[in-house]
Homo-oligomer: A and B are copies of this chain.
């Protein structure tokens, strides 16, 4: 099986597959003509990698997960630990984005968005007494 078919079956672009070989995630054989020769097991690995990446695991996490997957005497605790750490990372990112989102939403709401130059968003970024107003209860 050539790289094109492996790409089609695994759902990964051929470029990505070559890259994964480059960094040692997979080691396909070679045909006499130099073409990569993928076995079923490699396509499985590629699909595994695609799903792990879709869950946001780093390449290094993927490498570890792949090794654990291959190793029949693994301990599920090792897998779980990786997943839990990744979960924490995701939570941190979500928290950061949520904070940004809250600030931006407030600023966007306060901005008239018309042809006049006055803009609470720029005032906030300039930190010149940015807070729009002390607000009243009806806001929330």
Contacts and interface: CB of A to CB of B under 8 A. Distances in A.
Interface of A: 44, 47-48, 51-52, 54-56, 65, 68-69, 71-77, 79-81, 83-84, 86-87, 90-91, 93-94, 97-98, 100-101, 103-105, 107-108, 111-119, 121-122, 124-127
A83 B51 contact: no
A113 B48 contact: no
18 contacts: A48-B127, A51-B125, A54-B100, A55-B103, A69-B125, A69-B126, A73-B117, A74-B117, A75-B114, A76-B114, A77-B115, A81-B113, A83-B104, A83-B108, A83-B111, A87-B104, A90-B97, A93-B93
Nearest to A94: B97
A27 B65 CA distance: 48
Contact of A101 (B54, B65, B91, B122): B91
* Number of copies of this protein chain within its complex: 2
Q: Determine which residue in A86, A90, A98, A125 has the highest number of CB atoms from chain B within 10 A of its CB, and name it.
A: A125
Contacts of A97: 56, 90, 93-94, 97
A6 to B, nearest CB: 16
